[in-house]
A and B are shown apart, each in its own frame.
Chain A
Amino acid sequence: MASPKNFVRFDWILVSIYIALVAMGWMNIYSASLSDSAQGFFDFEQIYARQFLFICLSVILIIFVLAIESKFYERFASVIYIVSLVSLLGLFVFGKNISGATSWYSFGSFGLQPSEFAKAATALALAKYVSDIQTDMKEIKNQIGAFLILALPALFIIPQPDPGSALVYAAFVFPLYREGLHGVYLLLGLFATVLFVSTLAFGAVGVTIGVLLIAGILFFRNRKKRPNVIKYILLATVCIGFAFSVSYIFNNVFEQRHRDRFNIVLGKEVDARGIGYNTNQSEIAIGNGGWFGKGWTEGTQTKGNFVPEQHTDYIFSTVGEEWGFVGSMVVILLFVGLITRIIILSERQKSQFGRVYGYSVAAILFLHFFVNIGMVTGIFPTVGIPLPFFSYGGSALWGFTILLFIFVKLDGSNYHYS
Chain B
Amino acid sequence: MRKIVLIALVLFSGVVFSARLFYLQVIDASSQALSENNAIKVLYDYPQRGYMFDRNGKLLVSNQPSYDVMVIPRDVKPLDTLEFCALLKITKQDFLNIMEKARTYSPRLPSVVIPQLNKADYASLSEKMYKYTGFYIQRRSLREYQVNHSANVMGYIAEVNNAIIEKNPYYQMGELIGTAGVEKEYEEVLRGVKGVKYIQKDRFNRDIGPYKEGIFDTLPERGSDVTLTIDAILQQYGEELMVNKRGGIVAIEPSTGEILTLVTAPSYDPALLVGRDRSKNFTKLYYDTIAKPLYDRVLQGEYPPGSPFKTLTGLIGLQEDVIDLKETVACHGGYNYGGRRKLGCHHHPSPLAMLGGIANSCNAYFCTVYRRSIEKYATPQEGIDHWNAHLSSFGLGDFLGYDLPSGKRGYIPNSKYYNRAYKFPEYKWYATATISNAIGQGEVLLTPMQMANFTATIANRGYYYTPHIIKNIIGPDTIPKKFKEKHYTTVDAKHFEPVVDGMHQVYQRGTAASIQIPGIEICGKTGTAENFTKIDGKRVQLTDHSIFVAFAPKDNPKIAIAVFVENGYWGSRWAGRIAGLMIEKYLKGEITRKDMEKFVLEGSLENEYAKPYSGLPFTINK
A284-B38, A340-B10 known; 8 other A-B pairs, CB under 8 Å?
A36-B208, A177-B5, A300-B200, A303-B39, A304-B200, A325-B26, A332-B14, A339-B10
B13 CB contacts on chain A under 8 angstroms:
336, 366, 369-370, 373-374
What residue in chain A is nearest B10 (Cβ atoms)?
A: A339
Q: Is the CB of B34 within 8 A of A284?
A: yes
* In the assembled complex, A260 has its CB within 8 A of some CB on chain B: no
A289 CB contacts on chain B under 8 angstroms:
25
Q: Is the CB of B208 within 8 A of A303?
A: yes
What residue in chain B is nearest A181 (Cβ atoms)?
A: B2
A335 CB contacts on chain B under 8 angstroms:
14
Could you tell me which B residues sit within 8 Å of A by CB distance?
1-3, 5-7, 9-11, 13-14, 16-18, 20-22, 24-26, 28-32, 34-36, 38-40, 200-203, 208-209, 211-212
**What's the least CB distance linking A201 to chain B, in Å?**
18
Instruction: List A residues 151-194 near B (Cβ within 8 Å).
Output: 174, 177-178, 180, 183, 186
* In the assembled complex, A87 has its CB within 8 A of some CB on chain B: no
Supply 11 A–B pairs (Cβ within 8 Å), ascending by A: A284-B35, A287-B24, A290-B32, A301-B35, A303-B208, A306-B39, A332-B18, A336-B13, A336-B14, A374-B17, A378-B20
* Bound CA–CA A288/B26 (angstroms): 9
Choose from A303, A332, A363, A379 the contact partner of B200 (Cβ within 8 Å).
A303
B34 CB contacts on chain A under 8 angstroms:
284
**What's the least CB distance linking B207 to chain A, in Å?**
10
**What's the least CB distance linking A326 to chain B, in Å?**
9
**What's the least CB distance linking B197 to chain A, in Å?**
15
* Bound CA–CA A281/B204 (angstroms): 13
Q: Is the CB of A284 within 8 A of B31?
A: yes
B14 CB contacts on chain A under 8 angstroms:
332-333, 335-336
* Bound CA–CA A377/B209 (angstroms): 29
* Bound CA–CA A324/B24 (angstroms): 10
Number of interface residues, chain A, beta carbon within 8 A: 50
* In the assembled complex, A291 has its CB within 8 A of some CB on chain B: yes
A204 CB contacts on chain B under 8 angstroms:
none
Check A363/B35 contact, CB under 8 A, given A286-B25, A379-B16. Answer: no
Q: Is the CB of A287 within 8 A of B201?
A: no
B22 CB contacts on chain A under 8 angstroms:
325
Count A/B pairs, Cβ under 8 Å: 124
A328 CB contacts on chain B under 8 angstroms:
21, 25
Check A36/B35 contact, CB under 8 A, given A177-B2, A325-B26. Answer: no
Looking at B18, B21, B31, B209, the one whose CB has the most chain A CB atoms below 10 A away is B21
* Bound CA–CA A83/B507 (angstroms): 122
Could you tell me which A residues sit within 8 Å of B by CB distance?
36, 174, 177-178, 180, 183, 186, 281, 283-291, 298, 300-301, 303-306, 308, 320, 324-325, 328-329, 332-333, 335-336, 339-340, 343-344, 347, 359, 362-363, 366, 369-370, 373-374, 377-379
**What's the least CB distance linking B554 to chain A, in Å?**
73
Q: Is the CB of A332 within 8 A of B21?
A: yes
**What's the least CB distance linking A319 to chain B, in Å?**
10
Q: Is the CB of B25 within 8 A of A304?
A: no
Q: Is the CB of B31 within 8 A of A283?
A: yes
**What's the least CB distance linking A36 to chain B, in Å?**
7
Choose from A291, A308, A340, A377 the contact partner of B20 (Cβ within 8 Å).
A377
B212 CB contacts on chain A under 8 angstroms:
298
A286 CB contacts on chain B under 8 angstroms:
21, 24-25, 31
Check A287/B203 contact, CB under 8 A, given A320-B21, A324-B25, A359-B6. Answer: no
Q: Is the CB of A362 within 8 A of B25?
A: no
Check A287/B30 contact, CB under 8 A, given A301-B39, A325-B22, A332-B21. Answer: yes
Choose from A304, A369, A378 the contact partner of B208 (Cβ within 8 Å).
A304
* Bound CA–CA A303/B209 (angstroms): 10
B201 CB contacts on chain A under 8 angstroms:
304
* Bound CA–CA A174/B211 (angstroms): 48
* Bound CA–CA A366/B13 (angstroms): 9
Q: Is the CB of B31 within 8 A of A287?
A: yes
Choose from A291, A343, A373 the contact partner of B17 (Cβ within 8 Å).
A373
